[in-house]
Amino acid sequence: MYVCVCKGVTDHQIRRHVSDGARSWREVRETTGCATQCGKCACVAKSVTREAIKSE
Ligand code: FES
């Protein structure tokens, strides 16, 4: 599903960035552009990132 509509970022993409080595929300945000426009997705995107990092 789309987490970030503005930048077209999916939860799958976030998980992939984490399995490719991203270890923080900041890294995911910088590489995907997620939450850099309206910012409404930040909360959900952060929790998807945290969950993905935890399960690494
Ligand atoms: Fe992610 Fe707008 S929905 S920046």
Count Cβ atoms below 10 Å from residue 49 Cβ, excluding itself: 26
Structure-block tokens of residue 49: 């990132």
Q: Which protein residue has the closest C-alpha to ligand 1 atom 3?
A: 4
Distance (Å) from CA 55 to ligand 1 centroid:
25
Cα separations (Å) of 17 from 4, 12, 30? 15, 9, 11
d(CA 28, CA 19): 11
pLDDT for residue 39: 98
Mean pLDDT for the stretch of residues 49-55: 98
Ligand 1 contacts (CB < 6 A) are 4-7, 34-41
Reported confidence tier of residue 19, pLDDT bands at 50, 70, 90: very high
Whether complex ipTM tops 0.85? yes
Domains of the chain with CATH codes: 2-54 (1.10.10.1100)
Question: pTM value?
Answer: 0.95
Output the pLDDT for position 10. 98
C-beta of residue 28 within 8 angstroms of C-beta of residue 56: no
User: How far does residue 54's CA lie from ligand 1's centre (Å)?
Assistant: 23
